[in-house]
Each structure stands twice: as structure tokens, then as C-alpha cells.
Amino acid sequence: MKPRDLLLALAVVLAWGVNFVVIEVGLQNFPPLLFSALRFLFAAIPAIFLLGRPRVAWRYVIAVGLALGVAKFGLLFIAMDRGVPAGLASLVLQCQVIFTVLFAIAVLRERPRPTQIAGITIACLGMVLIMLDRGLSAPLGALTLVIAAGACWGVANTVTRHAKPQDTLRFMVWVSAVAVVPLLLLSLLTEGVQADAAALQSIDLTGIGAIAYLAFVATLFGFGVWGYLLRQYDASTVAPFSLLVPVVAMAAAWLLRGEAVGVQQAIAAALVIGGMACTVIRRRTPRTTESDDQISSELVSR
């Protein structure tokens, strides 16, 4: 990888890692579903007029918009609002790798490699350690919501793999647009008109900054650069960088939010990240067989 592209990859990792701390800050200003809706609103609306229509069937855009934009991010934001710390959320959310592999086996009839099976086993052991760690401040129910968010992300990855979008940024912009209205409706129904109105009326620079970061840095910049890298290099070269996202997120949460990392949680983190590494690292194969791997790697940790 060229030095410039290496720096771009690391910039995306940094942007997606810090993203979890920004979510935690933003949730102090907005109800979770409203916050998620605003993130997608500002990411999608300006960009769709510049980028034009998506180059895949609308059914794929709608399916991924509901699974990723509404379900995954809605559940994640609710879980963090209910007490899951930023660093822990970034780590547990990586169970999406496990679900992606399992759904690809069940739906796309892919045959798992031995390293994938080993990786899933190791990562699951790490997840069990996290759930058994009584020192965590996060409620068990909220942690379960993060796992459910990972499962929804796995669904979105599987649909995306089948859709094979050629332009990742354009695809993600339209996925974001699909998510706006359902999230706003769910927010009005569950969080209430008064809560949403109060949050919007009292919006300050912190809230605006959080929305701007999620919309323009984490979404548009992150996926735009990631899509560029996947077009320039093999998926096996680019995808492992996503393993650094929870590391950056946990470090950022420790530095910026004072989130402590215990010994058991550190061991669990090593098991989860090591297990994920087993699922994405593979022997180099001829270029003609790598396009599917690129698609499955495009939606990664943010």
C-alpha cells in the first residue's frame, strides 16, 4: 500500500474509532433515535443531489437502509443511551463479523474456511467473557441490544454482498436517505414529540458538532475513502484495518471519557479481535475471485 493510502486507511480507522465517543457525547443532547435520524439526514440529503441515483436495484438500497440504518444504528444508539460505554460498544459490535460469516453460510451457501470456524469460536469465547464480567457498568439488557445491532449489521452485509454495489459512497448515501423517515417516525412514537422538540430547541454547538462529525466524517469521509481503498487494493489488504477500530475506540474512550478497561475485559477484547482476524485474513487468491470479498468488507466498524 502506498504511503498516502496507508495514511488514508489510518485516518478512517481514527474517524470510526472516535465515532463511538462522539455518539456518547451526542446522546447527552438528543434522544437516541432522533440523534440517529439527524445523523443520516445531514449525511444523505446534500449528497444525493450531487451523486445521483444508486447503481443497484432499489430493493437492495431499501433492505440495507432498514437493516443497517434503522435497526443496527437504532439499537446501538439506544444501547449506548442505556449505559453501554463507548469503548465496550465498539468491541461488542464487532460480533457483526460472526453474524456476517454465519449468514453468508446460511443464505449465500458459502463454505466456511477452517480459520473462519476457529475465529468465530475464539470471538464467541471473548463475548462470553464480556457478558460474565460483573465489573461492567453496562446493563446486560443493553449489551444484548448491541449484539442484536451486530446481527442486523450482519444482515446488511449479506444483502450488500449480494447486491455488489460498484460505488460504496453513493450506495451508503442512499442507504442513509432510506433510514431518515423510519427513524424519525420511531422517535416520535417511542421518544415523544415533546422530547424531540425540546432537544431541537435546546440544541447547542456540542450537539451540532456531534451530528456534523457523524454525518460528514464518519459516514461520508469514512465510506468514501474506504470505497476508494477497496477499489485500489485487495480486500485482504484493506479489511484487516477495520480490526483497529475497537482498539482506537477503547483508547479514545479511556483518554476522553475516563472509561476504565479491566483485566478480564482486556483479555476478552484480545480474544474478540483475534477471532475477527481469523475470519478476514486469508491466503492471496487470483484477482478474479476477490470481488466478492471486497463487497463483504465494505460495511465495516464505524
175 part of a folded domain: yes
247 part of a folded domain: yes
Q: Phi and psi (nearest 5°) for 61?
A: -60, -45
60 part of a folded domain: yes
Q: Phi and psi (nearest 5°) for 82?
A: -90, 5
Of the pLDDT bands very low, low, confident and very high (cuts 50, 70, 90), residue 33 is very high
What domain range includes position 130?
A: 3-297
257 part of a folded domain: yes
- The more confidently predicted of residues 80 and 114 is 80
Average pLDDT, integer, range 213-219? 93
**Residue 276 near residue 217, CB atoms below 8 Å:** no
19 part of a folded domain: yes
Residue 291 predicted with pLDDT over 50: no
Domain count, the chain: 1
Q: Would you tell me the crossing angle of helices 263-280 and 244-257 to the nearest 10 degrees?
A: 150
Closest to 101 (Cα-Cα) out of 169, 157, 26: 157
**Residue 215 near residue 37, CB atoms below 8 Å:** no
Q: Would you tell me the crossing angle of helices 193-201 and 32-51 to the nearest 10 degrees?
A: 70
Query: Residue 22 has which C-alpha cell?
Result: 462522539
Of the pLDDT bands very low, low, confident and very high (cuts 50, 70, 90), residue 281 is low
302 part of a folded domain: no
How many whole angstroms separate alpha carbon 96 and alpha carbon 161?
A: 14
**pLDDT tens readout for residues 112-147:** 778 777 877 887 787 777 767 644 556 778 889 999
124 part of a folded domain: yes
| Residue 105, pLDDT score | 79
Residue 251 predicted with pLDDT over 50: yes
Of the pLDDT bands very low, low, confident and very high (cuts 50, 70, 90), residue 280 is low
79, 190, 245 from 75: Cα distances, Å? 6, 13, 19
Average pLDDT, integer, range 7-20? 92
Question: What is the CA angle 31-32-33, rounded to 5?
Answer: 100
255 part of a folded domain: yes
**pLDDT tens readout for residues 149-186:** 999 988 988 888 888 888 888 888 899 999 999 999 99
